[in-house]
Amino acid sequence: MKYDKRGVSAVKNDVHQAIKNLDKGLFPNCFCKVLPDYLTGNPEYAVFMHADTAGTKTSLAYLYWKETGDKSVWKGIAQDAIVMNLDDLACAGVFEDIILSSTIGRNKNLISGEVLKEIIEGTQEFIDTYKRHNINVYLAGGETADVGDIVRTVDVGITAVGRIKRKNVIRINIQPGDVIVGLESSGLATYEDNQHSGIGSNGLTFARHEVFHKAYAEKYPESYDPAIDKDYVYAGKRKLTDTTETSGLNTGQLLLSPTRTYLPVLKDVIIGLGSEIHGIIHCSGGGQTKVLHFVDDLKIVKDNLFELPEVFKIIQNQNETDWKEMYQVFNMGHRMEIYLNEKFANEVIDISEKYNIKAKIVGHVEKSTSTDVLIKSIYGEFLYNK
């Protein structure tokens, strides 16, 4: 895979191998690790502590900021780091009263104080915005470290802590006969100010190098890993400021589109359906194959996917990337999926569309002697195994 040749992995086999012997928590088959409530000792409660980053999307933000002077992109990076945590926690049933702490590691020679200010202010602005939508998130503080010896530009991470009753934890128990309701990753929700391209905050190493021109490698060598084979560094044809056909955004803005949070939708779904939910999967690392980490002896069939957003078409057609790899790296149109009995599907769809986020049944689950995801799309059929 091109993804591997760029020093990253869609499946993270080495990571999963490294952690396989660790304690799996109270409920091993949960999207996030569940701990006893060590804070109060209350046996009715569970505690979650989760960490994630904006990944190499920061490197793309760095390029765009240097080329255009637009520092507002850094507020989007703050949102990316927060949402990758919040939406993971929501998959486990945590949707409010979440405490955040930020960790920013920068190369001080390249990342100025004004960039830090944008990231930190962007974090607080995100929290303030969603408080108006009855999503209570709090910023506890964080750490900003000048670590130019080990960070080429900047790394932006968030740690999130939540606490809920154990009986409300969503455990993943996907069953044969379940349908999959997908929530579209692009568009404009009622609680958003700007259109989303659908890209999220995973696969950006691949996207950046696949789309943008080799000239950026020469101009900004600090923006990529020098150990990558030069054939896979900025191998595309586009400039950051090239226009796109349908979005009204330039190519850089399209790929930097801040990650959508589904938290308002998932809050209503969880409150309304609770134990009827057999699993919520955030299609982040691993794209449309993410669910393979949580099932055995099932075939996950996705045969009614959303129309492909423009951003993924642009990534694919630069160098005719294999479509099978595209579906394993990117969400390809829906970044959140809910598994449940078909009789409850319309309720999920109605809740999502109340927020102007398109939703539909994108597939179903079959009993199998192996563990697979089958993608049936207009670009071909692709089978992935556990």
Question: In the structure, what pLDDT confidence band is assigned to residue 50 with cuts at 50, 70 and 90?
Answer: very high
CATH superfamily membership of 2-385: PurM-like C-terminal domain (3.90.650.10)
Residue 259: closest CA among 205, 336, 350? 336
Mean pLDDT, the chain, whole residue set: 95
Q: Any idea where the domains of the chain sit in the sequence?
A: 2-385
Please state the rounded mean pLDDT for residues 278-297.
Answer: 96
Percentage of residues in the chain with pLDDT exceeding 90? 91
Amino acid code (one letter) for 79:
Q
**Of 76, 102, 197, 215, residue with least CA distance to 155:** 102
User: What is each CA distance from 337 to 88, 156, 258, in whole angstroms?
Assistant: 12, 26, 19
pLDDT at 15 over 80: no
Write the pLDDT tens digit of every residue in 207-241. Answer: 999 999 999 999 999 999 999 999 999 999 999 99
First to last CA, the chain: 17
- Average pLDDT in the 158-184 region? 97
User: What is the arithmetic mean of pLDDT over 147-174?
Assistant: 97
Give the per-residue pLDDT at 12: 66
pTM: 0.94
Looking at the predicted structure, is the pLDDT value of residue 21 above 90?
Answer: no
Work out the average pLDDT over 261-289.
96
* Percent of the chain residues past pLDDT 70, beyond the cut: 98
Mean pLDDT of 341-354: 98
Report the relative pairing of strands 334-340 and 277-282 from DSSP bridges. antiparallel
Secondary structure in 3-state letters for the chain: CHHHHCCCCCCCHHHHHHHCCCCCCCCCCECCCCEECCCCCCCCEEEEEEEEECCCHHHHHHHHHHHHCCCCHHHHHHHHHHHHHHHHHHHCCCCCCEEEEEEEEECCCCCCHHHHHHHHHHHHHHHHHHHCCCCCEEEEEEEEEECCCCCCCEEEEEEEEEEEEHHHCCECCCCCCCEEEEEECCECCCCCCCCECCCCCCCHHHHHHHHEECHHHHHCHHHCCCCCCHHHCCCECECCCCECCCCCCEHHHHHHCCCCCCHHHHHHHHHHHHHHEEEEEECCCCHHHHHHHHCCCEEEEECCCCCCCHHHHHHHHHHCCCHHHHHHHCCCCEEEEEEECHHHHHHHHHHHHHCCCCEEEEEEEEECCCCEEEEEECCEEEEEEC
Kindly tell me if the per-residue pLDDT of 261 is higher than 90.
yes
Q: What pairs with residue 280 in β-bridges?
A: 338
Distance CA 298, CA 281 (A): 15
